[in-house]
């Protein structure tokens, strides 16, 4: 198992979100080209876990957000940090919505 979130992309729509359990975890939201728009997490404050977090992303990103992939984990905060570090290492910058996290994100040199 690698450290990257490389699950298949799923359409970001009502039908796909309805199939998700109300669990904690991390996710990527992307546009139709696969460009990651947001690296996020569904934490303990999300009433319906991943479902609530993805609905929030739809409201925040609008029509630009067309797909997502997710991973369920109770260690969502440390996994979120890891995904942000990977994104930074791979692309040289964080997604626009997470750029306010740049000062607290460590550096990672994945192989």
The Cα–Cα gap between 88 and 77 comes to 17
pLDDT digits (tens, 9 = 90+) for 9-56: 999 999 999 999 999 999 999 999 999 999 999 999 999 999 999 999
The pLDDT, as a whole number, for residue 111 is: 58
Give the lowest-confidence range in 10-19, 42-51, 71-80, 93-102.
93-102
DSSP class of residue 91 equals H
**Distance (Å, whole) CA 20 – CA 101:** 27
Domain count, the chain: 1
Which CATH number characterizes residue 58's domain? 3.40.1440
Within a domain: 108: no
Domain of 87 in residue numbering reads as: 10-100
């Amino acid at each position: 198992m690698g450290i990257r979130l490389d699950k298949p992309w799923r359409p970001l729509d009502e039908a796909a979100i309805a199939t998700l359990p109300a669990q904690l975890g991390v996710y990527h939201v992307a546009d139709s080209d696969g460009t990651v728009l947001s690296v996020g997490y569904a934490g303990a404050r999300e009433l319906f876990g991943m479902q609530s977090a993805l609905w929030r992303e739809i409201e925040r990103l609008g029509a630009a957000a067309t797909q997502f992939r997710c991973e369920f984990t109770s260690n969502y905060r440390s996994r979120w940090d890891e995904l942000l570090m990977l994104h930074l290492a791979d692309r040289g910058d964080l997604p626009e919505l997470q750029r306010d996290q740049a000062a607290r994100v460590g550096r990672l040199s994945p192989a």
